[in-house]
């Protein structure tokens, strides 16, 4: 696990609760999304008994950003978001900030 639901809810701020099923689903999907794309050891095998390692802050932020993105996407089923007086805009397919955060940890498939 890269980060906890509680840490992500704290990052998201007011209006988001750790017991909200929608937030739980978004967090779970975001955690899986980031975890499957990075190579990061969550256990330190050099210590007896093995201890959990703290994930880097950029991976924690990537999970929080992906959670926020999924929650925003829930309100835009057609991938269009309203921008008030400006009009509507399409959500991009991927988030460059999330890609940049997980880039140094990206798992290389051989």
In a domain, 65, yes or no: yes
Question: Quick check: 26 and 9 in contact, CB under 8 A?
Answer: no
Would the pLDDT of 3 be above 90? Answer: yes
In a domain, 74, yes or no: yes
Residue 110: predicted pLDDT: 60
Residue 105, judged by CB atoms within 10 A of its CB (0-12, 13-18, 19+), counts as: middle
Domain count across the chain: 1
User: pLDDT tens, 33-77?
Assistant: 999 998 876 676 777 877 777 889 999 999 999 999 998 888 776
Would the pLDDT of 80 be above 80? Answer: no
Domain residues for the domain of 15 are: 5-105
User: pLDDT tens, 97-109?
Assistant: 999 999 998 977 6
In a domain, 110, yes or no: no
Helices 21-35, 57-74: axis angle to 10 degrees equals: 130
Could you tell me which residue, 78 or 3, shows the higher pLDDT? 3
């Amino acid at each position: 696990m890269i980060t906890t639901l509680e840490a992500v809810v704290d990052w998201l701020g007011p209006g988001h609760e750790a017991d909200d099923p929608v937030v739980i689903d978004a967090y779970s999907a975001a955690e899986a999304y980031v975890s499957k794309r990075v190579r990061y050891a969550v256990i330190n095998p050099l210590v007896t008994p093995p201890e959990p390692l703290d994930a880097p802050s950029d991976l924690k932020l990537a999970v929080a950003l992906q959670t926020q993105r999924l929650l925003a996407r829930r309100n835009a089923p057609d991938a269009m978001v309203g921008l008030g007086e400006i009009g509507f805009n399409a959500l991009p397919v991927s988030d460059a900030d999330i890609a940049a955060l997980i880039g140094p940890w990206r798992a290389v498939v051989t």
